[in-house]
Structure 1
C-alpha cells in the first residue's frame, strides 16, 4: 500500500490553496470590472474631446484677430526658423553644459551649507551665522542683478592677468543663487528625520559625520527629491540668462539671428527648444512626487 506525500494529494492543504486561488471571479465582480473599464474609457474620451475643442477655439480666436497675418510673418516664419536653427542649437549645447556643471556644483554647495546650518553646539555658531547670512543674501538678490555684479565686478578685481570667461562668471552667479535655495531644501529634509535616527546611530558607535552620511542624509535626500527636481527645472530656464554677459548661448544666438533679419521667429524657436528641454524633467518631478505621496500613504519608509 502506497502512502501519499504531504501536499501532493488532491485533498492536501496545498491543493486546497491552489483551488481557492484558481476560483474565477464572481459575476458581480466581473460587472464591476466592466463598469470601471467603461468609466475609464469615457473619462479619457471626454478629456480628449474637451482638449481638442479648447485647442480649436484658441486657434480660431488667435487666427481671426486683425493683426494675425502680421504676427505670423514676424514670429512664425518657417524659412527664418530653419536658417536660425543651427546656430541656436550650437548655443543650446552651451546651455546644456552650463546646466550640467551648475547643477553638480549647486548640489554640493547647497548640501554643505545645509549641513553647516544644522550643526549643534555653541562652537559652531560662527559657521552657522555665516551660512545663514549666505542664504539670506543670495536668496534676496535677484539673479539678473547678481549676474551683472559678478560678471562686471569680479573681473574688475583683476584676480588674474587674463580675461575671465563670461560663461564661468555666469555659471558662478547661477550656482551662488540656486545653492542658497537648494540648501534650504536640504535643511528641511534633514530636519524631517526624527532625532531618534541620529541618536540610534550614535548609540551604535557611529560618529556625528558617519551618522549624517549613512543615516540622516540618505533619508533626507529621498524626501526632498521632488522639490529638488523643481529647482532643477527652474535652473534649466535661468541658464539662458548668461547671454546677458555676452556668452553666445541659445538666447544670444536667437538675438543675433533676429538682428540679421529683423524677425522674431528665432525667439520662438529658442522658446520651444527650452520647453522641450524642461518638459521631461518636469514630468519626472511629477512622477517622483506622486510616487513619494503613494509611499507615504501606504505607510512605507522613505
Structure 2
C-alpha cells in the first residue's frame, strides 16, 4: 500500500504574486490621462471663448465645451474609488486574506479602466473642437456656418427626396434582379451550365467596375448611342438602372450564400415528395434563404442609398447637386455638410435595425443549439 505525501503548505504571502500591481499601473495611467483630458478640454473651452465666431456656434460650442470640462473633472471619481480599493487590496494581502485582496484588486482595476474609457471620448471631443477653431475658426466657418446651413437646408432637403426616390426604386428592382442572377448561378445539370457561366461573368464584371463609372456609362452612353427606349429614360431612371445593375451583382452573391446555406437535406426532402427543382427553390429553399440574408441585404441597401449621391454626375438634381450649386455661388461648403447630415439621419436608424436583426438571429441560434 503506497501512502500519498500531502502537499506542502506554503505561506500565503509567498504562494501568490502581489495582487495590486496591475491595478496600480491602470490607476496611474488613468491619472495621467485624466490630467491630459482636463488640460485639453480646458484649452478647448478657452479657444471657444476667445476665438469662436460670435453667434449660434459660439453659444453652442461654449456650452458644449463647459459640459465637457465638467465631465473631464468627474473622471477623477472612479480614480479616487480605485485608489481606495487598491489600499484595501494591499491591506488584505498583508493580512494574508488573498480572496479579499483579489476582490479589491479587481475593483481597483475596473475603476482604472472606467477612467481610461471615460477620458478617451472627451479627448476626441476636445480635439474636434480645436480642429473646428483652427486657423482662426476657418474650419468652422467653411464647413459648419450655421447661417448658411439654415439658408440652404430647405432646398437641399427637397432635393434629397430625389435621392430617396432613386434608392427605393433601385432597391425594389435589385431584390428581383439579384434573385434571378443568384438562381442562374445555381442552375443545375449541364443544361444550366451556360446560365451559370453568364451569371458568373455578370457578377464578376459589375462587382469590379466602380458604381460611378456604371452611372456615367448608362447616363451618357445610352443616350449617345441612341438605344431605343433606354436612351429616353432621363437622368433619374438612368440612375436607377445603373444602381440596379451594380448592386444586383452584390445582392446576387448574398442570395446565393443564403441559398447554399440551407442544408442539403431540405432539397432532398422536397424532391422526394415529388417537387420539381423549380418548385423546390420557390416553395422551400428561397423563403428560408431570404429570412437568413435579410441583415446583409439591408447592409447592401444602406450602401446603395449612399451611392445615390453619385448620380449628380449625370445631371440628376439631387441633394448633392443642390448643395454644389450653393457652394459654388457662396464659396462655402456648409450646404454639403447639410447633405451629409441628411444621409446620417436616414442611415443610422437602419444600421441599428440591422444590428437588432443580427442580435435576434444570434439569440435564435443559441436557443436552437
Instruction: Tell me: CA distance 1:258–1:141, structure 2 relative to 1, closer, same or farther (3 Å).
Output: same
Corresponding residue for residue 208 of structure 2: 140
Q: 1:266-281 to 2 correspondence within 5 Å?
A: 266-281=335-350
Between 1:129-138 and 1:45-54, the stretch displaced more is 45-54
Aligned partners of 2:299 and 2:351 also within 8 Å: yes
Is 1:98 the equivalent of 2:166? Answer: yes
Distance 1:54 1:233 in 2: 30
Instruction: Tell me: CA distance 1:255–1:130, structure 2 relative to 1, closer, same or farther (3 Å).
Output: same
Distance 1:166 1:160 in 2: 16
Distance 1:68 1:215 in 2: 65
Corresponding residue for residue 129 of structure 1: 197
User: Computing the radius of gyration over CA atoms, which structure comes out larger, 1 or 2?
Assistant: 2
Among 234, 237, 255, the residue aligned to 2:303: 234
Q: 1:6-21 to 2 correspondence within 5 Å?
A: none
TM-score (norm 2): 0.66
1:106 Cα deviation from its structure 2 partner: 0.6
Distance 1:200 1:102 in 2: 36
Among 152, 168, 181, the residue aligned to 2:220: 152
Distance 2:140 2:228 in 1: 49
1:47 Cα deviation from its structure 2 partner: 9.8
TM-score (norm 1): 0.80
Among 300, 303, 313, the residue aligned to 1:244: 313
- Runs of 5+ consecutive residues of structure 2 not aligned to the other structure: 1-110
Corresponding residue for residue 171 of structure 1: 240
Corresponding residue for residue 288 of structure 2: 219
Q: 1:20-31 to 2 correspondence within 5 Å?
A: none
- Runs of 5+ consecutive residues of structure 1 not aligned to the other structure: 1-41
Instruction: Tell me: CA distance 1:71–1:60, structure 2 relative to 1, closer, same or farther (3 Å).
Output: closer
Instruction: Tell me: CA distance 1:131–1:197, structure 2 relative to 1, closer, same or farther (3 Å).
Output: same
Aligned partners of 2:219 and 2:238 also within 8 Å: yes
- Structure 2 SS opposite 1:159: coil
Runs of 4+ in 1 over 3 A off after TM superposition: 45-52, 160-164
Corresponding residue for residue 285 of structure 1: 354
Corresponding residue for residue 114 of structure 1: 182
Distance 1:68 1:263 in 2: 16
Aligned partners of 2:133 and 2:140 also within 8 Å: no
Deviation sequence 1:7-58 (CA, Å, 0-9, x none): xxxxxxxxxxxxxxxxxxxxxxxxxxxxxxxxxxx9xx87994575245433
1:181 Cα deviation from its structure 2 partner: 0.4
Q: 1:289-300 to 2 correspondence within 5 Å?
A: 289-299=358-368
Aligned partners of 1:62 and 1:68 also within 8 Å: no
Deviation sequence 1:222-254 (CA, Å, 0-9, x none): 211221111011111001111110100000000
Which of the pair has the greater relative contact order for Cα pairs under 8 Å at 6+ separation?
1
Among 147, 171, 183, the residue aligned to 2:252: 183
**Matched residues, number:** 260
Aligned partners of 2:132 and 2:139 also within 8 Å: no
Is 1:261 the equivalent of 2:365? Answer: no
RMSD: 2.4
